[in-house]
Structure 1
Amino acid sequence: MQNKLPLTINPIKAAQKRLDYIGYYPNEAITRVENPKSNIECSLSFDFDEQRICVINIDAKITLEQICQRCFRPFVTEVHVMNKFSPVKSDTHAETLPEHYEPVLMNEFDEVDILALLEDEIILSLPIVPVHNSKHCEVSEADMVFGDIPIENEKPNPFAILVSLKNKG
């Protein structure tokens, strides 16, 4: 087991050695995720499955500060991502993978950028509309009700004239 987490790694060679990593990426290295409040704590394992497909298992956690979209105040939340990836060299190769593996493209050196992969997964797991838990939010349930929809006044039927003309004839 390794304590130092690699930024990039050749997953095929790592799977042949059955490497496992437990460690963290410092929040200074995180460039695409906004307001990280902690390091990315991560465990990585490389192996081959029964079909001899290279598999990267990722389990990572990070604490982020987000802005509540109800009260517009910051709040701290923890994001936990777990997924299984398989390295591919092209999109056509990605289509042949079993559906329980996410494809990850290798670069021209047959390496995978692990930090970029983690940032992608964190971004994908963020809520579309971040909000506090309703009991911790400054905007109460009663404040979220904006009143009843007013009933429109009865408008005259524009075809009523046609009905009166039809009845005259």
Structure 2
Amino acid sequence: MVSARRSFQGSLPIAAMPRLCEALADDAGSATYALDFGRDEYGTAYVDVRVQAPLWLVCQRTLEPFVMPVTVDSRLGLIRSERDESALPAGVEPLLVAEDDKLSPVDVIEDELLLALPLVPVNPDSVLPEEVTRPPVEAISTEERPQNPFAVLRELKKN
């Protein structure tokens, strides 16, 4: 694929990526992708990965599901051993290729979508519940304030 500078484009159902589905609220929809293989000016084999997918996440503010459009655009340097990672140009992420030089495009797409997921998903259109945003209750007067359990200790310390 690298020598022939092959390109692949298509659509992949979200449900076909089981590791990604574990992190989602729903496996509906599909991801559109483009994979472009080639070599850069230094002779380094790479694959350009571009993916767009609407992912169903659970908002951690409201605990409601919402759709987050995710876009991935990255270049992965194809390496055969971990020591080859240091030779990659800046801005190129390493992708370790198996001994048989085979690469699963579905796994690459799934990995990139997993890495693009936010640590704490929050729907930008969500609103905090009223009990959180309500202004504070007026200060309680000293007569209404409950007895401080340490008041007894304060009296003992005075003696």
TM-score interval w.r.t. the shorter chain?
0.7 to 0.9
Partner of 2:42: 51
Equivalent residues of 2:15, 2:28 under 8 A apart: no
1:23, distance to aligned residue in structure 2 (A) = 0.6
TM-score by length of 1: 0.72
Q: In structure 2, what is the equivalent of residue 107 of structure 1?
A: 98
Of 84, 95, 109, the residue aligned with 1:118 is 109
Shift of 1:142: 7.6
State TM-score, norm by structure 2: 0.76
Cα RMSD between the aligned structures? 2.7
Q: Which segments of 5 or more consecutive residues in structure 1 lack a partner in the other structure?
A: 1-13, 156-160, 162-169
Unaligned runs of 5+ in 2: 140-147, 152-157
Write out aligned runs for 1:1-169 (5 A): 14-34=1-21, 35-133=26-124, 136-139=125-128, 143-144=132-133, 147=136
C-alpha contact 2:97 2:103 (8 A) present in aligned 1: yes
- The residue matched to 1:122 in structure 2 has which SS? helix
How many Å separate the matches in 2 of 1:57 and 1:129? 27
Letter in 1 for 2:44: I
Letter in 2 for 1:143: V
Q: Alignment partner of 2:74: what SS?
A: strand
Whether the 8 Å contact between 1:84 and 1:102 is mirrored in structure 2 is yes
Match of residue 145 from structure 2: none
What is the SS of the residue equivalent to 1:59? strand
- Shift in alpha-carbon separation, 1:21–1:139, aligned structure 2, 3 A: same
Q: Is the 8 A contact 1:36 1:63 kept in 2?
A: no
CA deviation digits over 1:124-159, x for unaligned, max 9?
A: 1111111111xx3242588347859x9xx9x9xxxx
Q: Which residue of 2 aligns with 1:7?
A: none
In the TM superposition, what is the alpha-carbon distance from 1:108 to its structure 2 partner?
2.1
Secondary structure of 2:91's partner?
coil
Of all paired residues, the percent bearing the same amino acid is 27
Q: Is the 8 A contact 1:41 1:61 kept in 2?
A: yes
- Equivalenced residues, count: 141
Post-superposition shift, 1:86?
1.3
Contact 2:50/2:71 (8 A) holds in 1: yes
